[in-house]
Amino acid sequence: MAVGCGGRVDVEGFVSSLASFDVSAPGDDEVKALVLASERLSNAVHAFSASLLEELDRREVWALDGARSGPGWAAPRTGTAKAALQHRAGVGRGLRLLPSAQRPARAGLLSPAHLAALAGCARRHPALAARDEAVLVGRAVELDADGFRAVVKHWRACAESVESPDPQAEPPAPEPVDELHLSKGLDGRYELSGSFSAGAGALVDAAVGGRVDQYLRARRDGDESVSLSGAQLRANALVDLLSQRMRREPSEQSAPDRYRVVVVARWDELDRLAEAGCDTTLWRVVVGAEGEVLDVGRETRQWPTGIRRAITHRDGGCVFPGCDRPPSWCDIHHCHQWDHGGRTSIDNGALLCRHHHTFIHRKRWRITIENGRPVTRRPDGTQYVITRWSTE
């Protein structure tokens, strides 16, 4: 197997030679030699893969395809379990901290168990591992995996005793957590402030920013009432979002739409009903065989239980290719945005986890329903599909 310029590898040729090799043909001595050679080759490939996965993860090029990490990008394209790839990328991060381990690892002299133990030392105690690097790597080459694990166990115990905190020393500062403060002043106005992690902050920014974009579009379209500053627009956006979330569906307690008469009719009777209703509001609800709501048209952007269940049954989780988030982690996305005339119906909804829901709006990707199934499309309109052993 040779690695050429630009990272091209003759994988097909190598795999083909292995597939055609008759393991019963060699003599006894050759079989023993081949076992040793194949194990060394397997070790070398594992070490190479760990370094590549760490490099991929560090470059973050996977984010362009909507993935959350390098292992998450590689898993559906290789069929390897994501947990196994994550573990291997962690080994790669540890090996980056131990440069002298690279040569024996790439030479196939260290098994995956050796590499995992070395990487664990480097990640947990980087300063001490760098100090004892030559000894650790030397012992890894000398001992088998079980013997080296015993050495590492003893080394870690010593390292933890060296790094144990001084009881008299000031305790380390706690990790920052998400916080939100709301207080009412003497003049009746409220003061709001907070601090969020990168992920939570991005979610708030996407929600508020989306509503601000609507205001700015209205201003560009000539709505002179939208003449607020940026800070004022964000404040209005937050209040609008909260109001929308707390707004209840019409019921017997809601004054503006307190009384409704629901008439179940065929499609060909809608025109006659509209004439009879005069100035009443005509709205439609499509129901299934059991009376479950399947389409409420433009009546509301909120997803009724019947539609949510039907979409969840169809999609089974986030529909973005390569994502494994379950329905409980997902929102229902209006494929044709509700603000732009989209309906609240099964054929206009798809499950997306928060990460991918934000991703498609920010990157202007689209989800469409084609032949009854969600399809993911890039901004240029091409379909995004993940296939094994392809980088596309």
Determine the length of the chain.
392
CA nearest to 121, candidates 85, 142, 148: 148
CA nearest to 62, candidates 79, 75, 50, 49: 75
Q: What are phi and psi of 374, to 5 degrees?
A: -70, 140
Distance CA 192, CA 144 (A): 60
Distance CA 166, CA 385 (A): 55
Q: What is the DSSP letter of 167?
A: T
CA nearest to 356, candidates 385, 390, 317: 317
**Backbone CA torsion sign across 247, 248, 253, 257:** positive
Question: What is the full per-residue pLDDT of the chain (392 aa) written as tens digits?
Answer: 455 544 556 778 888 888 888 999 999 999 999 999 999 999 999 999 999 999 998 999 999 999 988 999 999 999 999 889 999 999 999 889 999 999 999 999 999 999 999 999 998 899 999 999 999 999 999 999 999 999 999 999 998 887 665 556 566 666 677 888 888 778 888 888 888 888 788 888 888 888 787 777 766 666 555 667 878 888 888 877 776 665 444 443 343 443 445 555 554 555 555 444 544 444 455 555 555 545 555 666 788 888 888 899 899 999 999 998 888 888 899 999 888 888 888 899 999 998 899 999 999 999 999 999 999 999 999 999 998 877 76
For residue 283, what are its two tokens? Answer: 């709205």
The owner of tokens 């979610």 is: 203
Contact of 240 with 301, CB cutoff 8 Å: no
Give me the amino acid identity at 77.
Answer: R
Contact of 343 with 302, CB cutoff 8 Å: no
Amino acid 174: pLDDT: 65
Give helix 133-142 / helix 112-124 axis angle, nearest 10°: 160
Distances (CA, A) of 179 to 66, 201, 304: 28, 11, 32
Domain boundaries, the chain: 5-163, 205-248, 263-392
For residue 191, what are its two tokens? Answer: 């003061």
Amino acid 76: pLDDT: 94
